[in-house]
Amino acid sequence: MPIFAIPFPMIDPVAVSVGPLVVRWYALAYVAGLLFGWLVARWMVGRQNLWGRTPPTDAGGLDDLLVLIAFGVVLGGRIGYVFFYNAEYYAAQPLEALMVWRGGMSFHGGLLGAIAGMCWFAWRRGQSVLPIFDLIGAVAPIGIFFGRIANFVNGELWGRVSDVPWAVIFPNAGPFPRHPSQIYEAALEGLLLFMIVQVAVRLGGLRRPGLVAGIFALGYGLARIVCEFFREPDAQIGFFADVITMGMILSLPLVAGGLILITTSVKQRTA
């Protein structure tokens, strides 16, 4: 154990409270992720030279798309948590699955919900879904970054016990210092991945449908697997084979799907 450990900064999870109205930092993180993602996506659809053809939507359509994605993320995130991480508990107490204010969201479930929203949007407009995947894949790391920072503020999804100098003693996680794995995820799945996909966009990645989405899927899957080595697994699940976590298992299809998208897209002729 280290001689010194960083005490957890006691940040009130409630950002604003006016009478019965309570606004939490977690909710603001969702809002910030959607807002900044919308701004970057709006910039992208306004530049036809990035696509080499007509962008997959205009500014008005983008607003409708983000509403569908936001709904899909919240609904899919909750359903994913219920089935992937705590199915036995919610099978015994199904009404608690509706109590989203008590926490419990799954990124992979939210991603499936977002994909469903994008597919619905593309189907209604009679167009290919791949350019839409590319558009959202280019901005999704923004939301991931703010979401992981909110996890840290809430003192949840903490890391494993560690003696690194920057280890943090989290409330409700026992007396031992732990990896601030939420910050690791914000850095890798958020900032670093955002820079990578934006470089791909500026190098003409959007001219090959599916390439940017594939880079996002592969990058997130690998980053999440790496971060899982520092993150404490959910207590009700624990480890598989003493080392594998549920987060790793759920990330493997993303790695495979990303490789398939990248391989397929690079074989296409650029727009």
The residue ranges of every structural domain in the chain are 22-266
Tell me the pLDDT band of 94, cut-offs 50, 70 and 90. confident
What pLDDT is stored for residue 105 in this prediction?
77
Report the chain's mean pLDDT, rounded to a whole number: 88
First-last CA distance in the chain: 56
Average of per-residue pLDDT across 222-248: 91
Lowest pLDDT segment from 115-119, 128-132, 171-175, 187-191: 171-175
- Residue 17, beta-bridge partner list: 22
* 239 pLDDT more than 60: yes
What pLDDT is stored for residue 271 in this prediction?
56
- Look up residue 215 and give its two tokens: 């880079």
Q: What share of the chain is helix, strand, coil (3-state, %, to 5)?
A: 65, 5, 30
pTM (two decimals) = 0.88
- Look up residue 157 and give its two tokens: 């999804």
99-132: per-residue pLDDT in tens? 665 667 788 888 999 999 999 999 999 999 999 9
Average of per-residue pLDDT across 156-185: 92
Q: What beta strand segments (E) does the chain contain?
A: 6-7, 14-18, 21-24, 168-169
What pLDDT is stored for residue 1 in this prediction?
47
Does 148 show up as a binding residue in the annotation?
yes
